[in-house]
Structure 1
Amino acid sequence: MEATFFATQEEFRYWLQHNHATQAELLVGFYITNSGKPSITWPQSVDQALCFGWIDGVRKNINEDSYSIRFTPRKPKSIWSAVNIKKIAELTEKGLMQPAGIAAYALREEKRSAIYSFEKDEIPFSVAYEKQFKANEKAWAFFQSQAPWYKKLSQHRVMSAKQEKTQLSRLENLIKASEEAKRIG
């Protein structure tokens, strides 16, 4: 499938207005800023796609000046990111949402919304797990020297396990890696 390039978001919106209900996919081409060619931006394309119940997929390079992203109608059981949920509210407020986009959003399942680990609130280690981690001073010092995002992700990985056995196994792996001054994942 050849990529279709849109110079403006209005052009992409026009395509969606006329094709969102009959087409199964569209490969959208994007020119990078330094190419000097007019092009819709990725955020603009996502906004327009959301309005019509479509979603972006994987990005692939075409050449040094361009790349493409496959857009498809959103499936009823697809995951909704916190960013896209917020975007829907903004697009609704601006009066840009279309019936197909409203319907796709209405079909979303709460349990499949904002579920990516980076979107979750911080889950601190339990007192016992933190005490166990701190007992290994070298590992704890390394862990504390890491970026906030890494600590949050690691804590979430340990604490989100349903079984205590799994939590302990993940904690032990984290402590071992930290002792070796290595990150997990």
Structure 2
Amino acid sequence: MTEAKIKSFKSYIAWRNWLEQNQELQEGIWLQVYKKHSGIETVSIEQALAEALCFGWIDGQRKSYDEQSYLQKYTPRRSQSIWSKRNIGIVEKLIQEGKMMPRGFAEFEKAKNDGRLAKAYDSHTTMQDAEDLMLELNKNQEAKAFYDALNKSNKFAINFRLQTAKKPETRAKRLNEIIQMMKEKKKFH
């Protein structure tokens, strides 16, 4: 597989047109998005995600690029990839607006039919602390104090691992590992 190229687009229309022509590109693309202070016309990150979902693509890693921009990776969705509740909401809105393309709609229907939508995870902004996690942390005040002091990214990583466990025994194992990490004052990031 070749490395994804870096490209920027002045508008969501230009991005959508590119996706329409390149939706089969397996390595995806690093989308260069300019920061507001740069004054450079660019597709917004929200528009970019919506258009990507229309074509069955998904956002991935984000990283800084230079003082004026950052890169967001977009690739075609893999067959068993998990869905976020946020992206489900975006797709449902796009369906109502008649903007979904066949490939994007097919990915959504496949996930609905195989149960992946029912197992969707919460986003950074909506994720709550898992009840079983809090019950265990409350048994050890040092571990709880360490957890409470973690930043949002670390708390999300912990709760994401619990929320995406497919089997109860996997969740229990992950919970035990997380509690041990908190006791040892170890972070995920």
> How does the TM-score come out when normalised to structure 2?
0.68
- What is aligned with 1:67? 70
Measured after TM superposition, the shift of residue 60 of structure 1 is 3.2
Gaps of 5+ in 2: none
Deviates more, 1:113-122 or 1:41-50: 113-122
Aligned residues: 171
Measured after TM superposition, the shift of residue 49 of structure 1 is 0.4
The Cα offsets for residues 65-119 of structure 1, whole Å up to 9 and x where unpaired, read as: 1222232211111111111111111111111111111011122242474146964
Residue from 21, 34, 37 that aligns with 1:34: 37
> Partners of 1:59 and 1:183 in 2: how far apart?
24
Q: Quick one: percent identity of the two aligned structures?
A: 27
- What is aligned with 1:4? 7
Tell me if the contact between 1:60 and 1:69 (Cα under 8 Å) persists in the aligned partners.
yes
1:45 aligns with 2:48: yes
- AA matched with 1:48: E
RMSD: 3.8
> Partners of 2:20 and 2:74 in 1: how far apart?
14
Gaps of 5+ in 1: none
> Partners of 1:76 and 1:33 in 2: how far apart?
35
Tell me if the contact between 1:114 and 1:120 (Cα under 8 Å) persists in the aligned partners.
no
The Cα offsets for residues 23-71 of structure 1, whole Å up to 9 and x where unpaired, read as: 3323322111111100011111010000011112222333211222232
- What is aligned with 1:110? 115
> How does the TM-score come out when normalised to structure 1?
0.69
